[in-house]
Every structure is written in structure tokens, then in C-alpha cells.
Amino acid sequence: MRADRLVATLLLMQSRGRVTAAELADELEVSVATARRDLEALSTAGIPVYPQPGRGGGWALVGGARTDLSGLSSNEAQALFLLVGPAAAVSGEAKAALRKLVRALPQTFRAEAEAAAGATMIDPTRWGERDRRRPEMVDQLQSAVVRRRRVRLVYVSGARERSERLVEPWGLVDKDDTWYLIAGTDNGRRTFRVDRIAEAETTDQPADRPDDFELATAWEEVTGTMEERRSATWATVLTEPRFVPILHDHFGRHCHGDGESPDGRARVRLAAPTALDIARNLAGWGGAVEVLEPQAVRAELARIGAELSGRYVGGQ
């Protein structure tokens, strides 16, 4: 990811004052030619980077060595890492660049920058929901994660039950435009959907975060549990090949091709929490989809069909 590498190059130069292309290549784990091209790109972009020929030369910034990152404030450092941090969860290159960016920061900024980088991640795998907007509350919770402050939540469960909780925010995850807060509670680690948080008040109470906590690892455990629930029931269906992309778009990772039937139709495996969930999703397809098994899904489809026929037969 070249943008991250260029930022890393600039911050290293601001921290050290002067670097050679070989030193930069070793630090960023790229070739000397790539490091030299990056330095030239910074210079071409108007950044005051210039080469110093001869023995003891290299590349330097106008003004010489600086340890304050040319006035980069603590808040600006946090903002930089809040932008780069989410990409590190899905890109090995971004993760490596982020680690080098941290090393380039002054010691006084590193703790907050590392907290900001680990405050948010993006899981790019979709669960099928779309067109959701980032809740305004995300910024408040993100600040609480970075500052390590407890938050008092009013949370509305899926059953519409409201409860008040005092939590220690550990990290935020954007899952297909649905945000989740992973937090410590009196009952251990819990995951909250941000769009179900009715109220949030950041307190002055310090929040503890386990030293071994890693947001990506915690989210992997959360998704593993959720996937088990979402894929509790599997069904095998037949449909025309042209409909398979639509099924895949609707069921996401719970839709798998399973070969072809003798009549040329595609054989597809679908999953949902219950047989009723699968039947409800397929009822609108009518005869375009044939469910082979399990019998529970076929029975639910038959029941739904009978209900619709009883209500709407004769157009009444």
C-alpha cells in the first residue's frame, strides 16, 4: 500500500532528520530502488525532501532533524492512526506500515497512537445487510476506547428490552456497515450493536483493557459464535444457474454451489438459523427454487403456501 509507505517514509525522515535509500529500504522492507522512487515521489509532490550527495549524505528534510514531527500534535497523530488502523485488519501491508509508523512517532505520542490504531477495525465480509449509515455515536465510543474511559449505556435488546450498563470499551468493528462495540462488563466480555445503543455517556472513570486483548482476535471469536447460530440449519436446493448469483447475494457466505443436477439446474446449499428462516427467504421464489432437503424446510414452505392460498384464493 504505497500511500502508507510514503507516510512512513516521511515520518521516519522527520524523526531521524536524514536517511539513505538503503536505510529506508531496510526499515520498510522494500528494495533500494523502491525506496529511492518513494523519496523522489515525495520531492516531486512538493514536500521539502532533498538529496545530499557525497560521503555521509542521504536524503533529508529542509530544516534538519526534528523529533516533534514538524508540529504534528497528539490529536493529529491519533487522527492519522484512526484512518490507517482499520486497513491494518484486512491488509498485511497496511499492518506492517502501521507498525513502522508507530516506531517513527515520538515516544510521548506512541501510546495514544497505538490505542487509536487498535480502536477500530473493518471486517469486509458481508452478512447481506446494506445501505446503513455510520451512527454518530461511533465517534463518541471511538474516543472512549482511545482515552480508556468507561461508558454508561442504555441498550435495547433484540426483544426490545432496555437495560443500563456501565462498560469498559475495548474496540469497535464495522461489519458490512453495521457497527459493534466490544466491551468489558461485570459479566465478562460482551458485544453490543451500536444501532441498539439508545444512549451513551462517557464517564471520567478509567477503563481497564486486558494487556493481551487484540481486537481482531476477539472479533474472530465473536463471528465464530455468530456463524454457528446463523448456520444451524442447512438446505439443499435446485435452481437455474442464472439465479445462483442472486441467492449468493442474499445469503452471503451461507450459500455454496454444490454441483449440477441431471436436468442442468444448479445444486446449491443454503443456511440460516432455523428451517423457518430458510422457508421465509425462499417462499417468494415460488417454483423457481426447489428444496430437496431437509424435510423441515419443505414442511415450512408447504405451510406458508397453504396460509397464502387460504388468505388470497380467488383474489379476495
Question: Residues 251-264: pLDDT tens digits?
Answer: 888 899 999 999 99
For the segment 83-108, the average pLDDT, to the nearest whole number, is: 54
Within this chain, do residues 196 and 249 fall inside the same structural domain, yes or no? no
Within this chain, do residues 139 and 197 fall inside the same structural domain, yes or no? yes
198 and 155 in contact (C-beta within 8 Å)? yes
Within this chain, do residues 245 and 161 fall inside the same structural domain, yes or no? no
Task: Report the distance separating Cα 118 and Cα 112, nearest Å.
Answer: 10
For the segment 179-188, the average pLDDT, to the nearest whole number, is: 92
Q: Domain boundary at 213, 246, 272, which?
A: 213
CATH of the domain at 61: 1.10.10.10
Phi and psi angles of residue 120, each rounded to the nearest 5 degrees, phi first: -140, 145
Nearest to 223 by CA among 96, 305, 124: 124
The partner residues of 291 in beta bridges, in order of sequence, read 237
Domain count, the chain: 3
CA distances to 88, 103, 175, 178, 311 from 98, in Å:
7, 9, 21, 25, 60
CB contact set of 164 (below 8 Å; sequence gap of 6+): 152, 153, 154, 155
156 and 192 in contact (C-beta within 8 Å)? no
pLDDT at 247: 92
Provide the grid cell at 212.
493481551
Across the chain, mean pLDDT equals: 79
Assigned domain for 310 exists: yes
Assigned domain for 222 exists: no
- Our measurement of the distance from residue 175's CA atom to the centroid of its chain's CA atoms, rounded to an integer in Å, reads 6
pLDDT at 69: 44
pLDDT at 18: 78
Assigned domain for 226 exists: no
Within this chain, do residues 27 and 69 fall inside the same structural domain, yes or no? yes
Band of pLDDT at residue 8, cut at 50, 70 and 90: confident
For the segment 16-39, the average pLDDT, to the nearest whole number, is: 82
pLDDT at 92: 53
CATH of the domain at 147: 2.30.30
For the segment 93-98, the average pLDDT, to the nearest whole number, is: 54
104 and 11 in contact (C-beta within 8 Å)? yes
Assigned domain for 96 exists: yes
Predicted confidence (pLDDT) per residue in 107-123, tens digit:
555 566 556 556 656 56
Q: Domain boundary at 183, 213, 243, which?
A: 213
More confident residue, 162 or 70: 162
Is residue 64 predicted with pLDDT exceeding 50?
Answer: no
Task: Report the distance separating Cα 249 and Cα 17, nearest Å.
Answer: 52
For the segment 132-144, the average pLDDT, to the nearest whole number, is: 80
Task: Report the distance separating Cα 158 and Cα 192, nearest Å.
Answer: 11
pLDDT at 66: 43
CA distances to 50, 118, 257, 267, 269 from 240, in Å:
63, 45, 12, 9, 14
Q: For the whole prediction, is pTM greater than 0.75?
A: no
Nearest to 26 by CA among 17, 35, 18: 35
CB contact set of 97 (below 8 Å; sequence gap of 6+): 1, 4, 5, 7, 8, 28, 84, 88
Assigned domain for 170 exists: yes
Predicted confidence (pLDDT) per residue in 229-238, tens digit:
778 899 999 9
More confident residue, 5 or 74: 5
Within this chain, do residues 242 and 171 fall inside the same structural domain, yes or no? no
Which of 127-131, 132-136, 189-193 ranks highest by mean pLDDT?
A: 189-193
Is residue 160 predicted with pLDDT exceeding 80?
Answer: yes
Is residue 135 predicted with pLDDT exceeding 90?
Answer: no
For the segment 204-209, the average pLDDT, to the nearest whole number, is: 92
Query: What is the domain extent for residue 247?
Result: 231-315
CA distances to 114, 264, 293 from 214, in Å:
12, 47, 41
Assigned domain for 219 exists: no
pLDDT at 262: 92
For the segment 33-60, the average pLDDT, to the nearest whole number, is: 74
Assigned domain for 190 exists: yes
pLDDT at 298: 96
pLDDT at 202: 95
CATH of the domain at 282: 3.30.70
Assigned domain for 114 exists: no
Task: Report the distance separating Cα 237 and Cα 248, nearest Å.
Answer: 13
